[in-house]
Amino acid sequence: MTTVARQKTPEPGPEASGSSNARPAGRRARSRPPGEPRAVGWLYVLPALVVYGAFLLWPLVRGAQFSLYHWDGIGQATWAGLSNYTATWTDPTLRGAFGHLLVLIVFYAILPCCIAFVLVAVMSRTKIRGLTFFRTVLFMPQVIAMVAVAVAWQWVYSTHGPVNTVLGWLHALGLPDWRHGWLGDFTFALPAIGLVGTWVEIGLALVLFLAGVQKIPRELYEAARIDGAGAIREFFTVTLPGLRRELSVALTLTTIMAVRNFDLIYMATAGGPGDSTKVPAYEVYNRTFNTGEVGLGCAIGVTLAVLAFAITAGIGRLVEGKGE
């Protein structure tokens, strides 16, 4: 299980990879004679539980409740039943936003995992000089505040920014003119946002896979090489199967990051041009605070929470191929 709520960073949490390890520990704990009155445990848990309940669980409950009303945030609310949820799927803008989310998942989750696989294959096959350096650098986008990332990438994509400059050079060499106003282009704004996500998430997937690769017994690689396997076959027969668990963790975390894509959209495009980069996370804010549809905003928020649950539960089963 991995943390998802706040998380930009991997948690191959101790529990994650290892029910096998956790369980014996648990057994030991159970066999230990209780040293203190049992109720003391509650005192230790209480502070965390109170804050957690009051400022996370309770708001979630309230959100679910708000989502059943039409409310402008000020006056009296009127009962709406499930109509806010229906609107989530029938309103063309919102349906579009969920569609954009699917596209972004490709860029945020699938693409980084593919690239990280290539990199990890590269890093595990030969001895790499400066491995720590590469790991540090590739992971760095993860730790930078998304608002700062957004500022940097707006420059990268700007009319006279580096991307267009390079494309201008290519144009001068006789290639077609591929320069665009990337973040203001109906076709390219969404993929451009997506590539920022890819850039951020590669490091996350990579660190997870590197950890996983170290657990694959060396003998498997030696055996594969004795069989005459090349780099590619070696990858598919040894590395990939050995990384299933890490892949599931990486996909879960990166997909959740795609779902929680508010900062970048707010800073870089505000959903535009037209509605072409509107995503549910942005619509939660937009509907609540700009257009005064608090119930609808909450319905989208609850939908996102459910989605996050489902993704976390779903990807694990899918990739690991079992329900445990």
Q: Which of residues 160-219 bind other proteins (CB under 8 A)?
A: 162, 180-186, 199, 202-203, 207-208, 210-212, 214-215
Name the amino acid, one letter, at 55: F
Closest CB to other proteins among 90 and 290? 290
| Options 82-90, 101-109, 221-229, 315-323: segment touching other proteins (CB under 8 A) | 315-323
Contacts (CB under 8 A) with other proteins, residues 60-89: 60-66, 69, 71-77, 79
Cα dist from 74 to 82, 292, 296, whole Å: 21, 9, 15
Out of 1, 82, 114, 166, which residue is the one contacting other proteins (CB under 8 A)? 1
| Options 16-24, 167-175, 219-227, 235-243: segment touching other proteins (CB under 8 A) | 16-24
Contacts (CB under 8 A) with other proteins, residues 216-235: 231
Is residue 217 classed as helix, strand or coil in its secondary structure? coil
Contacts (CB under 8 A) with other proteins, residues 269-288: 269-275, 280-281, 284-285, 288
Question: By rule CB under 8 A, what count of residues binds other proteins?
Answer: 160
Instruction: Name the region of 37 (left: φ>0; alpha: ψ -120 to 50; beta: rest).
Output: beta
96 near other proteins (CB under 8 A): no
Closest CB to other proteins among 13 and 89? 13
294 near other proteins (CB under 8 A): yes
The residue ranges of DSSP E strands in 15-109, in sequence order, are 69-70, 78-79
Classify residue 247 by its DSSP letter.
H
Contact (CB, 8 A) for 179 and 45: no
285/95 Cα distance (integer angstroms): 16
DSSP string, 201-239: HHHHHHHHHHHHHTTS-HHHHHHHHHTT--HHHHIIIII
Out of 89, 155, 178, 236, which residue is the one contacting other proteins (CB under 8 A)? 155
251 near other proteins (CB under 8 A): no
In whole angstroms, the minimum distance from the beta carbon of 220 to other proteins comes to 16
What the block records as the tokens of 214 is: 């170290």
The residue ranges of DSSP E strands in the chain, in sequence order, are 69-70, 78-79
Out of 149, 190, 205, 258, which residue is the one contacting other proteins (CB under 8 A)? 149
In whole angstroms, the minimum distance from the beta carbon of 324 to other proteins comes to 5
Is residue 273 classed as helix, strand or coil in its secondary structure? coil
Closest CB to other proteins among 238 and 256? 256
Closest CB to other proteins among 18 and 81? 18
Tell me whether residue 148 is exposed, middle or buried, using C-beta atoms within 10 angstroms of its C-beta: 0 to 12, 13 to 18, 19 or more: exposed
2 near other proteins (CB under 8 A): yes
Q: Which candidate, 100, 93, 69, places its Cα nearest to that of 83?
A: 69
